[in-house]
Amino acid sequence: MVDITHKVSSLRKAIATAIVKVSKQETIDAIQKRQVPKGDVFEFSRAAGLLAVKKTSDVIPDCHPLPVEYTAIKHDIDGLNIIISVEVHTIYRTGVEVEAMHGASITALTMYDMLKPIDKAVEISTIKLESKKGGKSDFKDFPPHAIKCAVIVCSDSVAAGSKQDFAGKAVIKKMEQSGLNASVYKIIPDEFDVIQTTVKQLSEEGFGLVIFTGGTGLSKRDVTPEAIEVLIERNIPGIMEAARSYGQERTPYAMLSRGVSGFIKNTLVLTLPGSTRGAEETMDALFPYIIHIFKVAEGLRHSQD
């Protein structure tokens, strides 16, 4: 199965439909009057559809087992067509499109099986996904190209040339996956005054997002959070809370993170770990969802004008 461990759990919804077409009005009448020999077609097929939704991963090899937290199945009659609609919800890392379509398919097939003794020309057609919500695509609600971005690597050893930077480049790659482009990529020593001078300059130059990686460890030489925190005018604690919560699911050491986040003027500043894996996981936890903050900030600026 595809690896989804890097994804963030969110509310996911899907609606799928299928059409069962009968050949005569007498079949519709029998269904509505509950006179089909095999039983109540709507109730039996609904029960089968519910079971199918829950058992999707048992019969489709690449589907992940997931918690099905809501399923609704309904039937609508339109002439000789019976339109089946299946809606499925979950809070998980992957969507429920296949679960909804599998539910619609088995609901339709159950109806076919129950109706064939009284109507030899029953047909199943048009099994399709009508809609889906949740996942990263739903949270890209601000034009990323409008955000001027910078990535700053804080490391004495990298700045001195004794080590190569991997974390900063990993952050840039993750940004690109969310449609963001780092127009500035800079390596600086992990020094209090240098960090402050750098972020002040970038803020004055109109950068919307500045990401620092490195200098967040427990050593007394790691001063990035301290240097940034005293400059922050509007703290956004939920950002790092989300990153720590995400990291805690993957390693207990995430609780040691000293990252900070907030606005310096109109610039959102984030401090990420210096390890490549830590930086990547923080990016996975925050992007593209964090881009929404720029839409909110823009709305606030317009309301104040």
Residues noted as catalytic? 113
- 8 A C-beta contact, residue 99 and residue 88: yes
Burial label, 208 (beta-carbon count in 10 A; 0-12, 13-18, 19+): buried
| HSE-up (13 A, CA, CB side) for residue 108 | 27
Alpha carbon 211 to its chain's center: 21
- 8 A C-beta contact, residue 78 and residue 85: no
- 8 A C-beta contact, residue 52 and residue 37: no
Instruction: Give me the DSSP letters along 217-238.
Output: SSSTT--HHHHHHTT-SEE-HH
Instruction: Give me the DSSP letters along 17-49.
Output: EEEEE-SSHHHHHHHHTT--TT--HHHHHHHHH
Is the preceding peptide bond at 288 cis, omega within 30 degrees of 0? yes
Q: Between β-strands 261-264 and 234-235, what pairing exists: parallel, antiparallel or unpaired?
A: antiparallel
Read off the tokens for 162.
């004794």
Read off the tokens for 140.
């890209």
- Longest CA–CA separation in the chain, Å: 85
Residue 235: phi and psi, rounded to 5, are -75, 140
| Helices and strands (H and E) in the chain: how many | 11, 10
Strand, coil or helix: 30: helix
